[in-house]
Amino acid sequence: MHGPVLPGWLLVALGGITGAYCLLRLRRCSGDARRAAGDEALMGLGMAVMAVPAAVLTLPRWTWTGYAAVFGCAALASLWAARRGAHHLHHLVGSLAMAYMAVAMARPGGGATGHGGHAPAEAAASAGMPLLTGALLAYYAVYVVRSGIRLVPARAGAPPAATPLPELLPACRLAMGLGMLAMLAAL
């Protein structure tokens, strides 16, 4: 995305690690949990690829169209799955946000280097639609705060859980929410 190289690499690491964790979850889940793990793996790995700094890899403009198509199909699948659970609505928003960012990057001026990288200020400012970007930023800001609050123990001073390895799923979702927030802010 737009901006310095270090935050880009941090987003690559964040997306890659969370995507890999979700791929591992795919192996031990079934049913709706498996579908959610697959959606989250696609989102995390997609974020990792999208965040690679333009100084390292400049993708041809047509790849952004393919990227938008993949996440558009994922949005349709999430819309269909939303009949069974409200959590899929979050996946729908995430897939639409990824498709929106890909379309913004594919537009002329949506990433002067073809990968979002170091675009001129006027091109970077016109990359997306400010109202839609603002709405997505607000959604992810609320999502991140809610996810963070859920990670706080119910009562202070409570002994740690008896399980040796606590479930990482809430932290994974928080990390991906933070990544989406950062990518949208860089758009």
* Cβ atoms of residues 170 and 147 within 8 Å: yes
Instruction: Quote the pLDDT of residue 14.
Output: 92
CA distance 17 to 48: 9
Confidence of residue 94 (pLDDT cuts 50, 70, 90): very high
Confidence of residue 62 (pLDDT cuts 50, 70, 90): confident
* Cβ atoms of residues 136 and 97 within 8 Å: yes
Question: DSSP state, 160?
Answer: P
Q: Residue 120 above 80 pLDDT? A: no
Q: Residue 113 above 60 pLDDT? A: no
Which of 36-50, 74-88, 157-171 is the least confident region?
157-171
For the chain, give the mean pLDDT: 82
Q: How many CA atoms lie within 13 A of 126 on its CB side?
A: 9
Q: Residue 95 above 90 pLDDT? A: yes
pTM more than 0.85: no
Instruction: Quote the pLDDT of residue 159.
Output: 59
* Stretch (H or E) spanning 1: none
Q: What is the mean pLDDT of residues 6-18?
A: 91
Percent of the chain at pLDDT exceeding 70: 80
Sign of the alpha-carbon dihedral angle for 13, 147, 39, 184: negative
Q: What is the mean pLDDT of residues 146-150?
A: 90
Q: Residue 50 above 50 pLDDT? A: yes
Smallest CA-to-CA distance from 111 within 57, 170, 45 is with 57
Q: Dihedral, CA atoms, 76, 81, 86, 88, nearest 10 degrees?
A: -60
∠73-31-83 over CA atoms, to 5°? 55
Instruction: Quote the pLDDT of residue 115.
Output: 44
Instruction: Quote the pLDDT of residue 158.
Output: 56
